């Protein structure tokens, strides 16, 4: 390690981290901006955003939703509201952030899943909504409405897809201009319900057109997000607008490990506990969020930028700054635990916490092997996705970079140096992010390709409030780093 170059790097990265938070803060402030104007005719008086034609998606397998969407398409057109009728299979979901108006007619198939043509779009929305880095304002310029087709015979899966689309669009900041409406093919009244919904929709859109802006008090607008209306149903599964389920290790697995328990042994001078860090409850929760758990304390997840660049789209900031190819980057951590309970942590606070390593320890080579295996499996699943070429897919299958930053605190893992060595041995560069609570570990750390220190606050008080650190001397630790 070269102290002077290291401290220069840390300073630079701390600055970058601070500016990232500044931009996040700025983007959050956009929530307070007035709603964007929309005119589906796209006359010259409107801004560039609203000149984009509305999109009417049909998510359909056997044709019912497709036929209904076609009917709506004609009705919209005859009311002077031209839309593009879109098969989501030939649509790039990244473009959703540019849309100002989206309508979806979606059916539900086996086990509550979407028909084939809407699978990628639905997954993309789900993953983006669950990804902390995407933010809740991605679709803040977009207004939308969803109509669902399903069968009540499928019980809890009734219209699961339409319900989920509505939840995820809202979670990403899109505004629902009309409450979700659900048709039941077994009741034989789908056409009637759809017609009522279409009429309301056209009234809303014409109201929009008349005023030239989306009015917060326009027909249905402003009521739609939480209220149900006659035959219209609002989503009640509580995923958006409802409370986030907060599960802490201390709540789900009893109290945190006791330092006095004697359960930690030393093996080759390294702490090695008897308990597994990831309990079955934590595992289930993390897996639901898309993490692949490795052994008992590590994880890997395919990053949205990896997928984006596999499809020939943009990469993450490392691509912009250093030319790193995001589709060849693997995101992993050897410790899902950390010593903070940051208020912004994106793991719904299912993270195990501790001030030192208390858990059973897995072998570093095994972790690297499994991480690459699971990562490449996820890459293979991208085969056939629009935009993914064979060349990029093969490149993605041999990762060249590893972001040790997924969640938790990678340097808590006692064998972090061996793990970094193994990655370098395989010609994989390492980007390690630490939360500045383990200065002694930083001192012991072998050189990594880049070391990032998260700077979450600028004063002792604000750091305590934001990171909720476990260490009493958290500020001294932080300042040292």
Site string for ligand SF4, 415-454 (x = CB under 6 A): --------------------x-------------------
14 lines the binding site for ligand SF4 (CB under 6 A): no
Any contact of residue 412 with ligand SF4 (CB under 6 A)? no
Which CB, 51 or 119, lies closer to ligand FMN?
119
64 forms part of the interface with ligand FMN (CB under 6 A): yes
* Residue 37 contact, options ligand FMN, ligand SF4, none, Cβ 5-8 Å cut-off depending on partner type: none
Query: Which of 119, 157, 313, 468 is close enough to bind ligand FMN by CB under 6 A?
Result: 157
Binder of ligand FMN out of 88, 93, 114, 150 (CB under 6 A): 150
Q: Residue 355 touches which of ligand FMN, ligand SF4, none (CB < 5 to 8 A by kind)?
A: none
The answer to whether residue 338 forms part of the interface with ligand SF4 (CB under 6 A) is yes
Q: Least separation, in Å, of the C-beta of 335 and ligand SF4?
A: 9
Q: Which of 314, 306, 322 is nearest to 397 (CA)?
A: 306
With CB cut-offs between 5 and 8 Å by kind, which of ligand SF4, ligand FMN, none does residue 65 bind?
ligand FMN
Of 37, 79, 151, 449, the residue at the interface with ligand FMN (CB under 6 A) is: 151
Of the candidate residues 18, 85, 137, 342, the single one contacting ligand SF4 (CB under 6 A): 342
Shortest Å distance, C-beta 313 to ligand FMN? 29
Q: Which is nearer to ligand FMN, 64 or 224 (CB)?
A: 64
340 binds ligand SF4 (CB under 6 A): yes
State the nearest-atom distance from the C-beta of 373 to ligand SF4, in Å: 24
Please count the residues of this chain forming the interface with ligand SF4, following the rule CB under 6 A.
Answer: 9
Q: Toward ligand SF4, which CB reaches closer, 182 or 463? A: 463
Shortest Cβ 341–ligand SF4 spacing (Å): 6
How far from the centroid of its chain's Cα atoms is residue 62's Cα?
30
352 binds, among ligand FMN, ligand SF4, none (CB under 5 to 8 A by kind): none
Which residue number, 148 or 175, has a Cβ lying nearer to ligand FMN?
Answer: 148
Residue 213 or 436 with smaller CB distance to ligand SF4: 436
CA atoms within 13 A on the CB side of 450: 21
Euclidean distance between CA atoms 26 and 350, whole angstroms: 28
Any contact of residue 149 with ligand FMN (CB under 6 A)?
yes
Report, in Å, the least distance between residue 191 CB and ligand FMN: 12
Interacting residues with ligand SF4 (CB under 6 A): 338, 340-342, 345, 351, 407-408, 435
């Amino acid at each position: 390690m070269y102290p002077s170059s290291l401290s220069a790097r840390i300073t630079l990265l701390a600055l970058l981290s601070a500016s990232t938070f500044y931009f996040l803060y700025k983007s959050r402030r956009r929530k307070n901006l007035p709603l964007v104007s929309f005119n589906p005719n796209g006359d010259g008086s409107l801004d560039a955003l609203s000149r984009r034609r509305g999109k009417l998606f049909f998510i359909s397998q056997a044709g019912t939703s497709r036929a209904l969407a076609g009917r709506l398409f004609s009705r919209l057109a005859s009311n002077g509201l031209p839309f593009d009728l879109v098969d989501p299979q030939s649509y790039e979901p990244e473009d959703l952030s540019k849309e100002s108006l989206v309508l979806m007619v979606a059916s539900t198939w086996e086990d509550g899943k979407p028909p084939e043509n809407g699978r990628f779009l639905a997954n993309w929305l789900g993953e983006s909504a669950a990804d902390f880095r995407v933010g809740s304002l991605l679709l803040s310029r977009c207004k939308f409405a969803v109509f669902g087709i399903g069968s009540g015979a499928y019980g809890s899966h009734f219209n699961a897809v339409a319900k989920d689309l509505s939840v995820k669009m809202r979670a990403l900041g899109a505004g629902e201009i009309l409450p979700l409406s659900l048709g039941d093919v077994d009741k034989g009244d789908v056409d009637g319900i759809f017609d009522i919904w279409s009429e309301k929709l056209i009234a809303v859109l014409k109201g929009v057109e008349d005023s030239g802006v989306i009015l917060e008090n326009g027909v249905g607008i402003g009521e739609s997000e939480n209220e149900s209306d006659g035959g219209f149903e609002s989503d009640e599964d509580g995923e958006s607008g409802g409370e986030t389920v907060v599960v802490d290790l201390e709540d789900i697995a009893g109290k945190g490990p006791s330092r006095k328990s004697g359960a930690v042994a030393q093996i080759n001078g390294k702490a090695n506990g008897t308990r597994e860090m990831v309990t079955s409850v934590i595992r289930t929760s993390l897996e639901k969020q898309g993490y692949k758990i490795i052994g008992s304390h590590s994880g890997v997840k395919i990053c949205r930028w990896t997928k984006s660049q596999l499809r020939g789209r943009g990469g993450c900031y490392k691509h912009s700054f250093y030319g790193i190819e995001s589709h060849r980057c693997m995101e992993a951590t050897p410790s899902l635990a950390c010593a903070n309970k940051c208020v912004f942590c994106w793991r719904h606070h299912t993270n195990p916490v501790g001030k030192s390593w208390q858990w059973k320890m897995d072998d570093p080579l095994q972790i690297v092997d499994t991480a690459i295996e699971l990562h490449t499996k996820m890459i293979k699943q991208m085969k056939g996705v629009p935009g993914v070429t064979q060349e990029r897919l093969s490149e993605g299958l041999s990762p060249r970079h590893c972001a040790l930053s997924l969640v938790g605190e990678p340097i808590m893992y006692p064998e972090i140096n061996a793990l970094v060595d193994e990655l370098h041995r395989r010609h994989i560069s390492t980007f390690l992010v630490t939360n500045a609570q383990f200065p002694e570990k930083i001192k012991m750390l072998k050189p990594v390709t880049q070391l990032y220190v998260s700077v979450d606050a600028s004063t002792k008080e604000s750091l305590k409030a934001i990171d909720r650190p476990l260490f009493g001397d958290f500020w001294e630790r932080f300042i040292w780093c």
